[in-house]
A and B are shown apart, each in its own frame.
Chain A
């Protein structure tokens, strides 16, 4: 029963699986994105407080959720790579970073765009946005540290340590910022709270969250193949793939 798990840990199988998975994940992602967008923009009724502006929730919340999910994934993958010395885990971690950073950026921009109709300004140092900004710095620090090492193994290990230190800090930073904001803004903390959300407003949100999750996994599968090849370039199977001599997932 565990054979499939151990086969997964073998780089060539992982590589082939990732190749097949990316299509199987991106296609449903696209469909769900369309359904969710339709539901969010057209079908959901306007909020009685925020009017139509609340619809930004359908891209802001999934982006923010992904930005955090991806960081945790990156840290866990790094930890697995460090503890069990699995290059595949490091390949996953390395692939996560640019995806996570891009969605953190999206969360910040959509948050700012939501802010303008809501608070009248594009930016508020509110806990959620500020934490997102710090998260962006964490991602850039991670990618910067990776890029600074010439030796790939060192880069993998050092960035894994950094990701773990970061993930421990993320809840601390989040609560610190909430505490700090409460001193200045009073009890109403995040103005990006969803309006008391009714069913026909909720389902598009859940759909979008599911869509974004599938999307992340699909793009991750695309990126991880290159990372695996790079770490396995000295092995026979990888060289066969690179020369196109192997049926294991070409392009």
Chain B
């Protein structure tokens, strides 16, 4: 990875960052996306899990339209959260194992920015399939079109935040073996506000009420996460890579 970054610019040791910030972002993002797509089965697991969880509820609870309609916002959002939790271990494990992560630490570029690019690539692979599948599944839950739209929008705003928050936990546990459940446990409380806002936004849409409040808050959380989380994740990576 360091080779990819270095070959994209001139010699960074010359004292001046040869790669501008956007170019750097693009390089890291593209490289991670490529690597991830080569192992697309890993990423597709989270989309499949999402579908699985959503399928379980009608079977276990009730297939009646009015029940499903009431459950839909919460169930679909919970399934999206669980799918994110399951996929988080992919974020850093491969790079830690092959030494790429340590190389990243030595590069003269801001670690947080590079991690942001990595997390975005991860979200594209794991979050976007969920967002694509969600409207289809929402229709099977008899959600009306307006609510489906708001649900998808809330997921679009919320799942990147979930991935970002998850990246902190993934970074903290990246050096630990068998830390899967611990990771979920650490990160889930942080995700609660997003979960509640997303589900409630959809509920409000279902009731025909005004959804702007929760949606703005979701947007605000996203902005907050994008600016603050990379700092925490960078710190966590440095601790784990020791």
Contact = CB atoms under 8 A, between A and B. Distances in A.
B182 A161 contact: no
Interface string B174-210: 0110010010011011101100110010010000000
A172 B236 CA distance: 22
A158 to B, nearest CB: 5
B176 to A, nearest CB: 5
Nearest to A140: B185
Contacts, number: 69
A165 B176 contact: no
Contacts of A166: 189-190
B134 interface: no
A169 B187 CA distance: 11
Interface residues of B, number: 26
Contacts of A144: 182, 185-186
B8 interface: no
Nearest to B197: A176
Contact of A148 (B182, B189, B192): B182
A145 B174 CA distance: 11
B188 A137 contact: yes
Interface string A171-191: 011001101100100000000
A145 B193 CA distance: 22
B96 to A, nearest CB: 14
Interface of A: 82, 134, 137-138, 140-141, 144-145, 148-149, 151, 153-154, 157-158, 161-162, 164-166, 168-169, 172-173, 176-177, 179-180, 183
Given A145-B182, A161-B232, 4 more contacts: A137-B188, A141-B189, A148-B179, A176-B197
Interface of B: 168-169, 172-173, 175-176, 179, 182, 185-186, 188-190, 192-193, 196-197, 200, 203, 228, 232, 235-236, 239-240, 242
